[in-house]
């Protein structure tokens, strides 16, 4: 640590020192890796997945970016319902539904980059 900073581990075992005035937002690289791997769904029963996601939601309760990211990994959230609707709107060339759903994502998930 230097000058009151916070040491943050990275995926490559490098060390980044965040200055106290900087706010780190979002899931850690380790948590992204845990949730993004096929092992998370393949090796854990649904109840275990739900419990782990609840733990992470609790851990990141004050981080709205992380909570949005957790929703992306949790297939039981409204995020995935709306995403499926958006995909169907794009496939059927329903521009009105596409615009409405795109707006919904901008309002409810403002911190996530939209592809």
What's 51-101 look like in SS3?
A: HHHHHHHHHCCCCHHHHHHHHHHCCCCHHHHHHHHHHHHHHCCCHHHHHHH
In the chain, the percentage of residues whose pLDDT exceeds 70 is 77
Could you give the CA distance from residue 1 to residue 85 in angstroms, rounded to a whole number?
A: 47
- 100 vs 114, more confident: 100
pLDDT band at 16 (very low <50, low <70, confident <90, very high): very low
The residue ranges of every structural domain in the chain are 77-110
For the cut 50, the answer to whether the pLDDT of residue 83 exceeds it is yes
Could you give the CA distance from residue 50 to residue 11 in angstroms, rounded to a whole number?
A: 25
Structural contact between residues 34 and 40, judged by C-beta atoms closer than 8 angstroms? yes
Average pLDDT for the chain: 82
Average pLDDT for residues 76-82, to the nearest whole number? 95
Average pLDDT for residues 35-49, to the nearest whole number? 84
């Amino acid at each position: 640590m230097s000058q009151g900073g916070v040491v943050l581990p990275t995926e490559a075992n490098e060390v980044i020192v965040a200055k106290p005035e900087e706010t780190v937002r979002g899931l850690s690289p380790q948590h992204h890796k845990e949730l993004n791997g096929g092992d998370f769904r393949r090796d854990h029963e649904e109840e275990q997945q739900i419990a782990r996601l609840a733990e992470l939601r609790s851990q990141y309760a004050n981080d709205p970016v992380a909570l949005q990211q957790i929703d992306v990994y949790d297939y039981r959230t409204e995020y995935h319902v709306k995403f499926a609707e958006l995909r169907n709107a794009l496939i059927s060339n329903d521009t009105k539904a596409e615009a409405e759903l795109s707006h919904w994502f901008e309002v409810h998930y403002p911190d996530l980059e939209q592809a």
